[in-house]
Amino acid sequence: MQTQTPTDILSENYRFLQEHVHSQVGIVIEGDKHYLFESRLSPIASQLGLSSVNDLCALLRATRETTLSRRIVEAMTTNETYFFRDPGHYEAIRNDLLPRLKQERADTRKMRFWSAASSTGQEAYSLAMMLLDQGLASWNLNILGTDFSSRMVERASAGTYQQIEVNRGLSAPLLIKHFRRAGVNWQLSDQVRNMAHFETIDLRKSLRALGPFDLVFCRNVLIYFDATTKLQILEQIHGTLFRGGWLLLGGAETAFGYEKWFEKRLTGNAVVYVAR
């Protein structure tokens, strides 16, 4: 007899989903997270006219259909983000990285940045607004945003945000300066939007060709991976950075084994990883 949990996902389906998500996106879902699968996948089951997540698993097993697989996997990613998250990082960029880059790049007037795991784009656009604020509008600035989820990449590219999203981390002067009302939403100006472009990229793939960058944000994503995957990604990111370029990790993240590639440094209140 199959055991059933209170949320009704059969244990064999629970294991199937854990393995599927791990193999497709690298995310480790450990312990009893039935509620997580249930809450994220029930809406997909309903939209497909299925009565449960178990039926959704049966459909995926039977068809192995790529679109369905991606939809399920993307639903299991956590996309939480907001403008100017970890303000200490932005202060460190303004007070330490940018003054140095302005000097070093005085001839080419070029800087390149990467928001790896960019979700809905707030990280990339916060940086873009800050660069404009620092008088760099005439420079050749390029910000790449990437995410596994094509849904997130579409949203980031559109630069359209709900009221609740602009309420998080964005000051009133920046809202007025860079956004205009679009019905109930807010639309980012073309000037800021054109500074960034977004692509669908899995961080577990080869990343070197994306560089070279002066700064890589890789925040609040490594926490979802196992130790081996984390190290592989750190090595790849190191390969995309100029020597002396910065890697920024999320507040709760540490990078065990990073020493080969990065020197950990405190600047202001921020921890930065400087590429060796």
Ligand X SMILES: C[S@@+](CC[C@H](N)C(=O)[O-])C[C@H]1O[C@@H](n2cnc3c(N)ncnc32)[C@H](O)[C@@H]1O
C-alpha–C-alpha distance, residues 117 and 222, integer Å = 9
Q: Which is nearer to ligand X, 3 or 67 (CB)?
A: 67
Cα 143 to chain centroid, rounded: 13
Q: Which stretch binds ligand X (CB under 6 A): 49-57, 91-99, 147-155, 179-187?
A: 147-155
Quickly count: other Cβ atoms within 10 Å of residue 206's Cβ: 9
> Can you tell me whether residue 257 is helix, strand or coil?
coil
DSSP assignments along 82-123, one per residue:
-TT-SHHHHHHIIIIIHHHHHHHTTTT-EEEEEEES-TTSHH
- Contact of 145 with 110, CB cutoff 8 Å: no
Minimal CB distance to ligand X: which residue? Answer: 81
CB of 134 to ligand X, least distance (A): 21
Q: Which is nearer to ligand X, 1 or 252 (CB)?
A: 252
CB of 223 to ligand X, least distance (A): 8
Q: Which is nearer to ligand X, 102 or 197 (CB)?
A: 197
Site string for ligand X, 190-229 (x = CB under 6 A): ------------xxx--------------xxx--x-----
Long-range contacts of 227-231 (CB under 8 A, 24+ apart): 227/256, 227/257, 229/26, 229/204, 230/255, 230/256, 231/256, 231/257
Q: Which is nearer to ligand X, 25 or 97 (CB)?
A: 25
CB of 1 to ligand X, least distance (A): 36
C-alpha–C-alpha distance, residues 253 and 157, integer Å = 27
Q: Which is nearer to ligand X, 13 or 126 (CB)?
A: 126
Q: Which is nearer to ligand X, 89 or 112 (CB)?
A: 89
CB of 132 to ligand X, least distance (A): 20
Applying CB under 6 A, which of residues 148, 179, 198, 213 lies at the interface with ligand X? 148
> Can you tell me which residue has the tokens 């068809």?
63
Q: Which is nearer to ligand X, 5 or 18 (CB)?
A: 18
Residue 106's alpha-carbon distances to 3, 9, 93, 148, 200, in angstroms, are 66, 59, 17, 35, 32
Number of residues near ligand X (by CB under 6 A): 24
Site string for ligand X, 77-106 (x = CB under 6 A): xxxxx---x---------------------
C-alpha–C-alpha distance, residues 141 and 98, integer Å = 12
Task: Pick the closest to residue 114 from 235, 203, 242, 217 (CA basis).
Answer: 217
Site string for ligand X, 226-265 (x = CB under 6 A): ------------------------x---------------
- Contact of 178 with 103, CB cutoff 8 Å: no
Q: Is 117 in the site for ligand X (CB under 6 A)?
A: yes
Amino acid (1-letter code) at residue 267: T
What residues line the site for ligand X (CB under 6 A)? 25-27, 77-81, 85, 117, 119, 123, 147-149, 152, 202-204, 219-221, 224, 250
